[in-house]
Homo-oligomer: A and B are copies of this chain.
Amino acid sequence: MPAALAAKVRTLAPSMTRSMQRVAEAVARDPAGCAALTVTGLAGLTGTSEATVVRTARLLGYPGYRDLRLALAGLAAQQQSGRAPTLTTDIAVDDPLSDVVAKLAHDEQQTLADTAAGLDTAQLGAAVTALAAARRTDVYGIGASGLVAQDLVQKLLRIGRIAHAHSDPHLAVTNAVQLRAGDVAIAITHSGFTGDVIEPLRVAFEHGATTVAVTGRPDGRVTQYADHVLTTSTSRESELRPAAMSSRTSQLLVVDCLFVGVAQRTYESAAPALSASYEALAHRHGAYRGRA
Query: A residues bordering B, Cβ < 8 Å?
Result: 2, 13-15, 35-36, 69-71, 73-78, 80-82, 91, 93-98, 100-102, 104-105, 108-109, 112-113, 115-116, 119, 121, 124-125, 128, 143-144, 147, 150-151, 154-155, 158, 169, 190-196, 198-199, 217, 219-221, 239-245, 248-249, 252-253, 256-257, 260-261, 263-264, 267, 271, 274, 278, 281, 284-292
CB neighbours of A80 from chain B (8 A):
74
Main secondary structure, interface of A, reads helix
Which residues of chain B come closer than 8 Å to A150, judged between CB atoms?
Answer: 147
A69 to B72, CA, bound (A): 12
CB distance from A94 to the nearest CB of B (A): 7
Q: Contacts A73-B70, A82-B81 known; A94 to B220 CB distance under 8 Å?
A: no
A100: contacting residue among B75, B93, B264, B271, CB under 8 A = B264
Contact A112/B121 with A193-B286, A249-B252 known, Cβ cut-off 8 Å: no
User: Given A77-B77, A240-B263, 6 more contacts at CB 8 Å?
Assistant: A78-B81, A101-B119, A104-B253, A108-B253, A193-B287, A195-B290
> Top 9 A-B pairs ranked by shortest CB distance?
A74-B77, A191-B292, A105-B116, A14-B290, A193-B285, A73-B73, A70-B73, A191-B285, A109-B109
Q: Which residues in B have their C-beta under 8 angstroms from that of A290?
A: 13-15, 169, 195-196
* Interface residue from B77, B91, B155 paired with A75 (Cβ < 8 Å): B77
